[in-house]
Amino acid sequence: MPDFRIPPIAPFAITFDAEALTFDPPGPTLTRRMSDLDGLFADRAAWENAVADDDPVVYTVVSTPVPEIERELPQSITTIHPGRTGGECWMTKGHQHPDHQGEIYLGLAGTGGLLMFDGERVEWVDMRPGTIGYIPPGWAHRSVNTGDEPYSFLAVYPGGAGHDYSWVLAHGMGRRVYRKADGSIELRDFSVAR
């Protein structure tokens, strides 16, 4: 077998529980609290108050045992809790792939969106159960819960692509996501905090 065809791990089956939103066998679980989102919300005082007020869990990521290495396709389920900080919808940290590769997200539960930024252009994709959001290579991306229930999605991504969270801190995401009183979503200029 040619070297490029030798897999780093042996084939195996993964069971996906669509109700519990879990994998078997399970991989690592990551929990992000409000304190982990330093510098991401426009309203710093509101963020500090949220951290001081029990530092709530904003989102969790459960993964399969597929490793994040070249030629593998890891999978994970992210669940973002509903909430707003300074009016801004709760979100993931967002990242850019240092090795620019594509990625797909599949909406599983709740309502949310996929905010993408290539350094100049901003794109928004509404996400609901059954929606596949495609992230092209070179686009930073962040998921946002726009509803009143937990928003969950499945991600499948190239294991060697990497995650650069500092890119988002340095460049922003082009827009911020707010929910109006009528439940509609408003994308505001990234530099404007209201």
Along the 194 residues of the chain, how does pLDDT read in single tens digits?
455 555 678 899 999 999 999 999 999 999 999 999 999 999 999 999 999 999 999 999 999 999 999 999 999 999 999 999 999 999 999 999 988 999 999 999 999 999 999 999 999 999 999 999 999 999 999 999 999 999 999 999 999 999 999 999 999 999 999 999 898 999 999 764 43
Domain boundaries of the chain, sorted by first residue: 21-189
Is the distance from CB of 95 to CB of 163 less than 8 angstroms? yes
* Strands of the sheet with 84-85, listed across from one edge: 84-85, 88-89, 175-179, 185-189
Report pTM: 0.93
- The CATH number given to 21-189 is 2.60.120.10
